Amino acid sequence: MTDPDPRTPVLVGAGQASERVDDPGYRRLSAVELAAEASRAALTDAGADGIAAAIDTVAGVRQFEISTPGAPAPLGKSDNYPRSVAGRIGAAPQRAILEVTGGQSPQHLVTELAGTIAAGGAEVALAFGSEVISTSRALAGSTDAPDFTEHVDGDLDDRGYGLRGLFSRHLAAHGLLVAPEQYALFDNARRARLGCSRDEYARAMGELFAPFTAVAAANPHAAAPVERDAAELVEPTERNRMIADPYPRFLVARDQVNQGAAVLVMSIAAARRLGVPEDRWVFLHGHADLRERDLMDRADLSRSPASVLAVQHALDVAGITQQDVSILDIYSCFPIAVSNICDGLGLAEDDQRGLTLTGGLPFFGGAGNNYSMHAIAEAVARTRAEPGSYGLVGANGGMLSKYSVGIYSTAPTGWRADRSAELQAEIDAWPAPTEARQADGWARIETYTVKHGKDGTTGIVIGRLERDDRRFVATTHPDDAETLDLLGRGEPIGARVHVRSFGFGNRVTTTGQRMQELFPSRPRVLRTDYEHVLVRRDGHLLEVTINRPEVRNSLTPEANEELDEVFDAFFADPDLWVAILTGAGDKAFSAGNDLHYSASGKPMWVPKNGFAGLTSRRDMTKPVIAAVNGYAMGGGCEIALACPLVVAADTATFALSEVRVGLVAGAGGLVRLPRTVPPKLATEMILTGRGLTAAEARDAGIVNRVVEAGGALDGARDLAAEILRGSPTSVRASLQIMNETAGIADTVEAVEHPSSALDDLMTSEDSIEGVAAFAEKREPHWRNR
């Protein structure tokens, strides 16, 4: 290349570091120390002195312990990982970056830093990452455990976790929280697409990964340097236990590692100024960064076309074809990550070039998010050893979600822009299946896995409802051996199954009858032995008391379930016409979710009908009066808002206080409050957690009546008595019509809305009785029919 742009980026140094807990001379290095060691190796590899002082940008890849909110760091951690590493090597950069979570981040960072250098925004940049999971597991809790905690001052561009779309409460509730289960869904879908039997596919996965073990066995940095044959990789044994069908442990990315890697990137001008020999220069010829659709939005769960498109585009940017590449490292956390690229590019899985430079994530080690930094380091070394050759690194993040690609060569080239943003817009426009969050009825299995864990075995299914082809996720009942047998043998994909939705998620089994056996319908009648609720029946009135005063009547899933059962019975009983809901004691109506229960780590869920069985209930055709005798906070306020009528003691307080504990009023408060009070007031209450007194709540339209302290229940009884003087049929019809027309903006259209309630009322006994009693000047005798 003649007269290159002095801002052209080149990779001039790459380094790796590692240690094993059972090695002689094991040093118990922290993540910072291991990354610093790899960084020193990268500086040495550049072949020039004084580079550390010239570094203006450092970029760190997140360790697992800082990759998700609340993740434990058993031995402590740095609060500014990039600057901690910089300090160890004598660098004082102007800028420090902590990249988002994901295995794509090493390649994405190298691409970004190279582009920044080409644009003149930096001159010398160092990217690095490290994991010491083996050390943490080996030493946590020991009497001589090291403390890796450290504080470092200085600016940090912390880009957050970047987890949006990768995890969700809905998927987590169905067992899809960690990687093996989700990747297993993809591999099982691919197996069915190819028409392979379970044994055939297992053998193919073993044959794919067996060469990887040979590479790992020769790699001094490998966490598991043991060569294994295909049969050994896939044969379940006590040591090679099943993790998630079809994966035994040997096919799963190995996270128990102590590994670090670093790459040094600088402009040609800086390289010349610092005296870096040209035989150390490696150019980034092509690159791409693309993101796949989220799991439930993918048209075909057996493929990730966005990942393939990223590789193809990087090759296009480089101006070469895949046949021109002689050095390959395809991200290999699970077999499908490799097979997907091979399928899309037409690569043979036994390609003679080899598909890994390190030994792959299950054998070299899945060094947290930083695996591909090691692959880049290997690619730099290989392309230098074979001048003019091309090396391709594919870096995968999330759940086959984010894919970053780099094409490397010593052949000189200027900086080349890519069209990833344009291609991403096309991907985002791909059609997606419609999802059924609450799935009920007959369905067909689209893909599946069986998760094996300490708590037992669970089947996870993604399927399509027969009636409308909507996609859903569901899990099996713990005692459903029949469905587990279906998923564990033969070909379950395409099999007909039955799915049913609950507050805690969707459940799948073989038939509707089996579903009823596993989840018998509860009688819609009142009991007398509730644990968290008191009920009192007084003629046509039902009084319901949340009986948890010691925790301000806050609600656990079990308490919500009992309230849901009570209100199911109330709405089903023709002799119950009005209900009152209150809280025990004079301190609180309800404080909403029991945060102590939630903080314990136990699963939180609410019935399909919502908090207290009311906030998401659609059949509110009988009046429920909230008798608020103290705090109605958070979910408690949402319950009160869901009740058609509210009577409050003058000591009551109403507040959506979720923002003060890092939550949102997601059970209806964000919707009902702005429709009840003036928008400005609603916004202030929601964003600040501001509370309203009973009088303020009455003036704002939340409360119907305010009574003296201690009188909320009596006030609600008085209001109930007034309602009970009217026709229960008319009351029910009135509520039904109000509910049906609530969303109709045009007044005349709402007035003319045809409702079956009017027809039912016209033919009811109560309408005849009401007219007759009026004519006869007597009290009516309502029959509620």
Cβ–Cβ under 8 Å, residues 213 and 355: no
| Residue 134 one-letter amino acid | S
Quick one: CA dihedral 354, 358, 360, 364, positive or negative?
positive
Give the DSSP letter of residue 449.
E
What is the Cβ-side half-sphere exposure of residue 391, based on CA atoms within 13 angstroms? 24
Which uninterrupted H or E stretch holds 496?
strand 496-502
Q: Note the helical H segments in 507-594.
A: 512-518, 557-572
Task: Copy the structure tokens of residue 544.
Answer: 């319901």
Based on the number of CB atoms within 10 Å of its own CB, is 765 exposed (0-12), middle (13-18) or buried (19 or more)? middle
Summary count for the chain: helices (H), strands (E) = 26, 27
Cβ–Cβ under 8 Å, residues 253 and 266: no
Which one of the listed residues 658, 696, 749, 776 is annotated catalytic?
A: 658
- Nearest by Cα to 459 from 168, 169, 175, 196: 175
Burial call 481-508: b when 16+ CB within 10 Å, e when fewer: eebbebbbeeebbebebbbbbebbbbbb
In a 3-state reduction of DSSP, which class is residue 308? helix
- Residue 676's φ and ψ, nearest 5 degrees, are -110, -45
Which one of the listed residues 638, 696, 749, 779 is annotated catalytic?
A: 638
Q: Where are the beta strands (DSSP E) in 431-495?
A: 441-453, 456-465, 471-475
Taking the C-alpha atoms of residue 619 and residue 6, their distance in angstroms, rounded to an integer, is: 71
Quick one: CA dihedral 570, 437, 671, 708, positive or negative?
positive
Taking the C-alpha atoms of residue 631 and residue 585, their distance in angstroms, rounded to an integer, is: 11
In a 3-state reduction of DSSP, which class is residue 752? coil
- Provide the terminal-to-terminal Cα distance of the chain, rounded to the nearest Å: 92
Helix, strand, coil shares, percent, the chain, to 5? 35, 20, 40
Cβ–Cβ under 8 Å, residues 393 and 341: no
> For the chain, how many residues are written?
785
Cβ–Cβ under 8 Å, residues 451 and 457: yes
In a 3-state reduction of DSSP, which class is residue 662? coil
Cβ–Cβ under 8 Å, residues 613 and 642: no
638 is catalytic: yes
123 is catalytic: no
In a 3-state reduction of DSSP, which class is residue 527? coil
- Nearest by Cα to 18 from 144, 134, 156: 134
| Residue 272 one-letter amino acid | R
Taking the C-alpha atoms of residue 269 and residue 3, their distance in angstroms, rounded to an integer, is: 11
| Residue 2 one-letter amino acid | T
Give the DSSP letter of residue 54.
G
Quick one: CA dihedral 709, 714, 718, 723, positive or negative?
positive
So which residues are the catalytic ones? 638, 658
